[in-house]
Amino acid sequence: MPKTIRIGCASAFWGDTCTAAAQLVEGGELDYLVFDYLAEVTMSILAGARLKDPRAGYASDFIDVLTPLLQRLHADRIRVISNAGGVNPRACAAALQAACEAAGVPLKIAVLLGDDLQPQLQQLAGQGIREMFSGEPLPSTCISINAYLGAPGIVEALRLGADIVITGRVVDSALVSAALVHEFGWAWHDYDKLAQAALAGHLIECGAQCTGGNFTDWRDVPDYEHIGFPIVEVSADGQFIVTKAEGTGGLVTPLTVGEQLLYEIGDPQGYLLPDVICDFSQVRLIQQGKHAVRVHGARGLPPTDQYKVCATWPDGFRCTATCLIAGIEAVAKAERVSQAIIARTSQIFSQRGWAPFSEVNIELLGSEATYGQHGQRQDSREVLIKLAVRHPDKQALVLFSKEIAQAATGMAPGLTGLVGGRPAVSPLIRLFSCLVGKSACRLQIELDGQRHPCPLPALEPLAIADLPTAPDLPKPQGRADASVPLVKLAVARSGDKGNHSNIGVIAREPDYLPWIAEALTPEVMVDWMSHVLDPLLGRVERWYLPGTHSLNFLLENALGGGGAASLRIDPQGKAFAQQLLEIQIPVPQSIADQLD
């Protein structure tokens, strides 16, 4: 049995840099190389691509990046696992097989099948399935329906001898945890080890986000140009070190890793995955040396007997136009022009007997529009008008895209023209998330022209009511007679979960956490972020992680539909943490003096 296994992640999303894989293969001393491509937004895009071309629907970048490395992967016996298959994993495998044959490299490629539930649409509809957040029924027309599979299918593919495993929709962390289960021979009831493995996968699934990318203290991060992509070195007991290749840029510290720990999770004591329910509340992050952080303390519980399933469905069309307006009173001019464009086209729609816009979103970029009531700048001399609209009829938005141009000669001065030319009209794809029993999926491995069944391990599922109780928040000692912005006390990162957003806040020092918690109540968060929360359905939930002296907030219904369905400039809440970091936190004068 090997002492440790080294796994590097070369992709955080579809469209990530093409240089990371070579960096990791050449300098990472890897046993496994993983690629994560599938955000919820990406599934919508891939589903739309497959509609146009049945041969499409996978991350073609994967083939382009891997092809030059095939000889080295074979020579160094580095195995590859990726969800690049998207909604068409067999087509992805066929393209890679052709590349291997052209290069004369005899790598065995396995495909994991079973996540695609599209053929079961009518059966699922008959079960009365409801959207897990809104309670809406399953749409009658779906472009794709995919379950989030776990690690067992990938483990079976590795056992069968695959050098490269291509999956469709699996949970991101399974790309890593499957390799560890296979290498260390862990049982499916070794829940603490599975939780550690899931955490290792979670920390590196977003690529350079745990090695200094997207870090609050961005000025401290050296050499963005050559930032190192992450590597986990994992022991048989599940403990691991997060690091990066020697000589690369970036930064690996408890805070860079901690921001990623909280990224896009909900309840840290009940992080639900197909193979294990993870409790990350007591996780410890310890600096082990330069650019090396040791991670331990994740606990695991039995999983439920359900998969999360995401369906994508068409809901009309969208069109987004951007144009620059400059000069005196640019903000006021932009407001007037935006309103006039919408009023003018709405009137034409009415005259032609068309329905009104389904949704209109106007953002004046440069006027701090994304800050809502916290915006401070209204005197900008240049503003980018972002005008996004939705309509059930494509013809109406084609007219809208043409009529915008009239503003350049018939409205306020200083309009310099449409950025990028006349805007295109595209289908608006929405996400539908639900839960289905695991028995709905029949997992199979396709390898060497044969299909191998992959039964799931027999486990006693956990009832959600059996999750651990939340730890008590520490109370501040002393009197708050000063205040400082949150950024002086903490780092923070935000991201999306469907139409929800999370903001993770990590205290820079343990002594700061009680004061942060006292100030950042759910009620305060609702008030501070009210400009993004749905006025009827928006709410905020808060959790405490003692191990990392941190808080995690979930902002429900805060993204205007989320992902590909949102018309906002920030449809994934990526900038929410930056807005929160400016909030004033009451603290004792002694703490404020330390921070000056």
Reported confidence tier of residue 120, pLDDT bands at 50, 70, 90 = very high
Q: Are 118 and 142 in contact (CB under 8 A)?
A: yes
Reported confidence tier of residue 468, pLDDT bands at 50, 70, 90 = confident
Q: Which residues contact 536 (CB under 8 A, 6 or more apart)?
A: none
**Arithmetic mean of pLDDT over the chain:** 94
Which pair of structure tokens corresponds to residue 33?
């190389």
Helix (H/G/I), strand (E/B), else coil: 112: strand
Per-residue pLDDT reduced to its tens digit, 519-551? 999 999 999 999 999 999 999 999 999 999 999
Query: 265-270 long-range contacts, Cβ below 8 Å, gap at least 24?
Result: 265/202, 265/502, 265/504, 265/552, 266/497, 266/500, 266/502, 266/541, 266/543, 266/552, 266/554, 267/467, 267/541, 267/543, 268/543, 268/545, 268/552, 269/467, 269/468, 269/470, 269/543, 270/464, 270/467, 270/468
- What confidence score (pLDDT) does residue 296 get? 97
Total length of the chain: 596
The closest of 358, 374, 346 to 580, measured between CA atoms, is 374
Per-residue pLDDT reduced to its tens digit, 203-238? 999 999 999 999 999 999 999 999 999 999 999 999
- What confidence score (pLDDT) does residue 287 get? 98
CA max distance for the chain: 75
Least confident range from 34-48, 402-416, 430-444, 582-596: namely: 34-48
Q: Is pLDDT at 459 greater than 90 in this prediction?
A: no
- Averaged pLDDT, 73-95: 97
- What confidence score (pLDDT) does residue 1 get? 56
Residue 331's φ and ψ, nearest 5 degrees, are -65, -45
149: DSSP letter: B
Reported confidence tier of residue 2, pLDDT bands at 50, 70, 90 = low
**Domains of the chain, first to last:** 4-115+148-268+442-453 (no CATH), 317-430 (3.30.70), 482-595 (no CATH)
- Averaged pLDDT, 451-472: 84
Q: Is pLDDT at 306 greater than 80 in this prediction?
A: yes
- What confidence score (pLDDT) does residue 181 get? 98
- Averaged pLDDT, 315-342: 95
Q: Are 79 and 160 in contact (CB under 8 A)?
A: no
Per-residue pLDDT reduced to its tens digit, 374-416? 987 777 899 999 999 999 999 999 999 999 999 989 999 999 9
Q: Which residues contact 312 (CB under 8 A, 6 or more apart)?
A: 43, 44, 47, 48, 142, 143, 144, 429, 430, 431, 432
Tokens 């699996």, residue located: 170
Reported confidence tier of residue 322, pLDDT bands at 50, 70, 90 = very high
Per-residue pLDDT reduced to its tens digit, 11-57? 999 999 999 999 999 999 999 999 999 987 788 788 778 878 989 99
What is the rounded radius of gyration, in angstroms, for the C-alpha atoms of the chain? 25
Helix (H/G/I), strand (E/B), else coil: 326: strand
Tokens 């749409």, residue located: 139
- What confidence score (pLDDT) does residue 47 get? 79
- pTM for this model (two decimals): 0.95
More confident residue, 466 or 539: 539
- What confidence score (pLDDT) does residue 196 get? 98
Helix (H/G/I), strand (E/B), else coil: 567: coil
% of the chain surpassing 90 pLDDT? 85
**DSSP one-letter string for 351-409:** HTTPPPPSEEEEEEETTTGGGGGG------SEEEEEEEEEES-HHHHHHHHHHGGGHHH
% of the chain surpassing 70 pLDDT? 99
Per-residue pLDDT reduced to its tens digit, 133-172? 888 999 989 988 999 999 999 999 999 999 999 999 999 9
